[in-house]
Amino acid sequence: MSGIERQTGVALWRQIADEIRAAIGNGDHDDTGRLPTEAVLAARFDVNRHTVRQALAALAREGVVETVQGRGTTIVPRRRVTYPISTRTRFSAGLGGQVAQAVTRLVGVSQESATPELAAQLRLAEGAPLLRLETLGEADGVPLSRAVHWFDAERFAGLPDAYRREGSITRALAACGVADYVRQSTEISAAPATASDRADLALQPGAVVLLTRSLNVDAQGHPIQASHSRFAADRVSLSVATEPGSSS
Amino acid sequence: MSGIERQTGVALWRQIADEIRAAIGNGDHDDTGRLPTEAVLAARFDVNRHTVRQALAALAREGVVETVQGRGTTIVPRRRVTYPISTRTRFSAGLGGQVAQAVTRLVGVSQESATPELAAQLRLAEGAPLLRLETLGEADGVPLSRAVHWFDAERFAGLPDAYRREGSITRALAACGVADYVRQSTEISAAPATASDRADLALQPGAVVLLTRSLNVDAQGHPIQASHSRFAADRVSLSVATEPGSSS
DNA sequence: AGTCATTTGTTCGTATGTATG
DNA sequence: CCATACATACGAACAAATGAC
């Protein structure tokens, strides 16, 4: 069972590159961080050595591995940031300690009318005006997530200006009179990265994104913010603590 | 910005198929459930109509769309099962109401020694004997998830037999003296489906899996079960409720 | 019924990419 | 490096089915 298939529209060298990248991501390698030789890989995947070389060349271009003549191919170490999901979910604070600098940048502000789904979530009339903020989450200069946030445009008219002043949604909401809010629900799925994901998050073709749809409510339990986030799955994992007292 | 790229090792028709599949998954289509004509899609992606046809043919083979001569291509309605993650996470019960029949099948039992990570999670000595159960979760005959569960082999020696009698981990644990348990933590990530994922979950090449690593503890807070699960991302989404009183 | 525009299905040929040995 | 076999992509036709008039 070599695992790769022909005539699937994906070139063998790319399938092999994807398998090796996934294996590296799962930590399936010995302590040396050394990949098997090209001849061994060619035998394992049941392809010609040329094909393995093409796969390794692609991974080297991505920066996943490094190949040196006479020495072999070694894995370039990389780590995955864990993003906690709890009642207190906030982007920058959640990454604290794992990275030197976590920032969210505002990349777009617009107004649109509520779809049925968003209206129901935010308890507004269908078609009600919504404020739409697009943000890019980065850690140490590496893009981690792209998100779209929707707010009641009437209640939060001053939010974009506040965001530009304060530099975070939490502080911008505080400036708009929301002293506190909690994450009520999060729905998580995953999908292949789209072309715009690849552009915004600097991903390779074949990469995967983690998708979340979440709702934040204020202290009175009234919904204030609906969000759709897209995380680079090879750089982020989500952590859910399900302890009864997790609200503290 | 057509979004697709040439010479990436992924055939254009497959990139287009992936884009269309993702768009359908995101609900980006009008109410008619009708796809644009081949000519329109060819113009949008800036490719020949043949190439679009190849992409649509692949999606039709997957069952995502249906094409009729003279009429066009329509989306085959499909829904995604939502799997709730909470302190009370149980496979079959969580899907109740969404599907007619949810079952977990035991597909493998073996014994192995604890890795450092598993030993720390289960509070056992490194190398301690572990019971390893592999299960396949299905809903209405469609495979949804594949999971590996680890238990202390000494404490739960009778578990495999109990599972075969009872047909569920929850009831098997009850038979082993664990009247109740709760989900303590869940870590979620995503990755391209591996070859064995595709085989076990009947996935197409290019499919994506949602990965969870979780820990269950008994009423005294002592860890009893560590699990690694792999969900078919196009058939399952995970739902996290983060309400303070969600333990009920 | 028939006509028409629209849309998918099929068949040529040609050029380039992929994979092997 | 080469030669060979097959997959991929394009272009230009024409055939066949659909739905509306």
Which nucleotide lies closest to A11 by the C1' atom and the CA atom? C18
- CB contact at 8 A, B220 and B65: no
Interface-testing mutation among A189, A216, A217, A235, with chain B (most B C-beta atoms within 10 A): A189
- CB contact at 8 A, B183 and B212: no
Interface of A with B in 102-121 (CB under 8 A): none
**Alpha carbon distance, N-terminus to C-terminus of chain B:** 50
Condensed to tens digits (0 to 9), the pLDDT of residues B32-55 reads 889 999 999 999 999 999 999 999
pLDDT top residue among A78 and A248 = A78
pLDDT at position B1? 52
Q: By the CB < 8 Å criterion, does B205 face chain A? A: yes
Residues in chain A with CB shorter than 8 Å from the CB of B189 are 80, 210, 233, 236-238
Residues in chain A with CB shorter than 8 Å from the CB of B182 are 242
Å between CA of B48 and C1' of C15:
14
Alpha helices in B131-194, H assignment, sequence order = 159-166, 169-175
Is a pLDDT exceeding 70 seen at residue A7? yes
pLDDT at position B246? 39
Which residue in this structure is represented by tokens 């005006």?
A129
Q: By the CB < 8 Å criterion, does A139 face chain B? A: no
Å between CA of B174 and C1' of D4:
65
Q: What element of type H or E holds B42?
A: helix B38-45
Contact between chains at A8 and B14 (C-beta distance less than 8 A): yes
Among B58, B185, B233, beta carbon nearest to A241? B185
Which nucleotide lies closest to B37 by the C1' atom and the CA atom? C7
Condensed to tens digits (0 to 9), the pLDDT of residues A186-205 reads 999 998 888 889 889 998 77
Helices (H) and strands (E) in chain B, counts: 8, 10
Domains of chain A: 12-75 (1.10.10.10), 81-240 (3.40.1410.10)
Å between CA of A199 and C1' of C18:
27
Among A183, A208, A236, beta carbon nearest to B192? A208
Question: In one letter, which amino acid is A145?
Answer: S
d(CA A217, CA A235): 28
Return the number of other C-beta atoms located less than 10 Å from residue B208's C-beta: 24
Distance, CA of A208 to chain centre: 9
Contact between chains at A185 and B242 (C-beta distance less than 8 A): yes
Q: What residue of A is the nearest CA neighbor of B11?
A: A9
Å between CA of B57 and C1' of D16:
18
In chain A, pLDDT over 90 holds for what percent of residues?
A: 46
Q: What is the pLDDT along chain B (248 residues), one digit of tens a residue?
A: 557 788 788 899 998 998 898 888 777 777 788 999 999 999 999 999 999 999 999 999 988 999 999 999 999 987 788 999 988 777 777 787 788 788 889 999 999 999 999 999 999 999 999 999 999 999 988 999 999 999 999 999 999 999 999 888 999 999 999 999 999 999 999 988 888 898 899 987 778 899 999 999 999 999 999 999 999 998 999 998 775 543 33
SS (H, E, C) chain A: CCCCCCCCCECHHHHHHHHHHHHHHCCCCCCCCECCCHHHHHHHHCCCHHHHHHHHHHHHHHCCEEEECCCEEEECCCCCEEEEECCCCCHHHHCECCECCEEEEEEEEEEEECCHHHHHHHCCCCCCEEEEEEEEEEECCEEEEEEEEEEECCCCCCHHHHHHHHCCHHHHHHHCCCCCEEEEEEEEEEEECCHHHHHHHCCCCCCEEEEEEEEEEECCCCEEEEEEEEEECCCEEEEEECCCCCCC
d(CA A193, CA A199): 10
- C strand bases under 7 Å from protein CB: 6-11, 17-21
Q: What residue of A is the nearest CA neighbor of B86?
A: A242
- CB contact at 8 A, A59 and A44: no
pLDDT at position B26? 72
Least trusted range by pLDDT, from A50-64, A112-126, A135-149, B84-98: B84-98
Distance, CA of A43 to chain centre: 35
Q: By the CB < 8 Å criterion, does A243 face chain B? A: yes
- Average pLDDT estimate for A81-108: 82
pLDDT at position A59? 87
pLDDT at position A97? 72
Q: What residue of B is the nearest CA neighbor of A189?
A: B237
pLDDT at position B2? 53
Interface-testing mutation among A242, A246, A247, A248, with chain B (most B C-beta atoms within 10 A): A242
Is a pLDDT exceeding 60 seen at residue A30? yes
Is a pLDDT exceeding 80 seen at residue A92? no
- D strand bases under 7 Å from protein CB: 7-12, 16-19
Return the number of other C-beta atoms located less than 10 Å from residue B225's C-beta: 25
pLDDT at position B171? 92
Which nucleotide lies closest to A51 by the C1' atom and the CA atom? C19
- Average pLDDT estimate for A144-157: 96
Sorting pLDDT into bands at 50, 70 and 90, what band is A2? low
Angle separating helix axes A12-25 and A49-62, nearest 10 degrees: 50
Q: Minimal Cα–Cα distance from B65 to chain A, Å?
A: 18
Å between CA of A33 and C1' of C19:
29
Q: What residue of A is the nearest CA neighbor of B189?
A: A237
- Residue B195: closest CA among A15, A222, A181, A163: A15
Question: In one letter, which amino acid is B182?
Answer: V
pLDDT at position A6? 81
Among B82, B185, B241, beta carbon nearest to A239? B185
- Region of residue A55 (left: phi > 0; alpha: psi -120 to 50; beta: else): alpha
Residues in chain A with CB shorter than 8 Å from the CB of B208 are 190-192, 208
Spell out residues with C-beta < 7 A from strand D.
A 6-9; B 6, 11-14, 46-48, 50-51, 54, 68-71
- Average pLDDT estimate for A143-157: 96
Å between CA of B102 and C1' of C17:
46
The size of chain B, in residues, is 248
- CB contact at 8 A, B20 and B34: no
- CB contact at 8 A, A10 and B206: yes
Residues in chain B with CB shorter than 8 Å from the CB of A236 are 189
pLDDT at position B94? 75
pLDDT top residue among A232 and A9 = A232
Question: In one letter, which amino acid is A159?
Answer: L
Q: What element of type H or E holds B13?
A: helix B12-25
Å between CA of B39 and C1' of C12:
20
